[in-house]
Copies of this chain bind each other. A is one copy, B any other.
């Protein structure tokens, strides 16, 4: 598709500068390599995947939550969460439970096994995140990374256009 804008002040696609490309590559390499490393350690230490851990973690405060509410909170699609809950339910980590007042859906409830798995996984997981990520950055870099998150995505979890 060729650009058909008449008097566009940006004639070409504005390629990335070297600095911009460096930042984009940094983000992509972090996503690729760091995620894999954290995920692998988590799986070996606890048998949980990162998504598993996130679900358990987001459930742990109240112990139960509506699927849609949990999905919104995690910025996941309902479909993704539904699939994942099914798999976690098969492993006994969570349970679907009918809720009265609305028969359309159900609460997702943390089982004792799920809570135990989370509590056993947490210390090592935090240690992984520290060792592989946090402790490799300066306080300044940590602060700016937080700023970047807000600059790019907005102060809240606003992920709409």
Q: A9-32 vs B: 1/0 string, CB under 8 Å?
A: 000111110011011111101111
Stretch at the interface among A63-71, A93-101, A129-137: A129-137
Q: A129-B16, A142-B20 are in contact. Are A157 and B1 (CB under 8 A)?
A: no
Q: Contact: A149 with B36, CB < 8 Å?
A: no
Q: A37 at the A/B interface (Cβ < 8 Å)?
A: yes
Q: Contact: B75 with A126, CB < 8 Å?
A: no
Q: Which residues of B contact A140 (CB under 8 A)?
A: 144
Q: Which of A45, A130, A134, A151: most chain B CB closer than 10 A?
A: A134
| Residue ranges of A at the interface with B (Cβ–Cβ < 8 Å) | 1-3, 12-16, 19-20, 22-27, 29-37, 45, 75, 120, 122-124, 126-127, 129-130, 132-153, 157, 159, 161
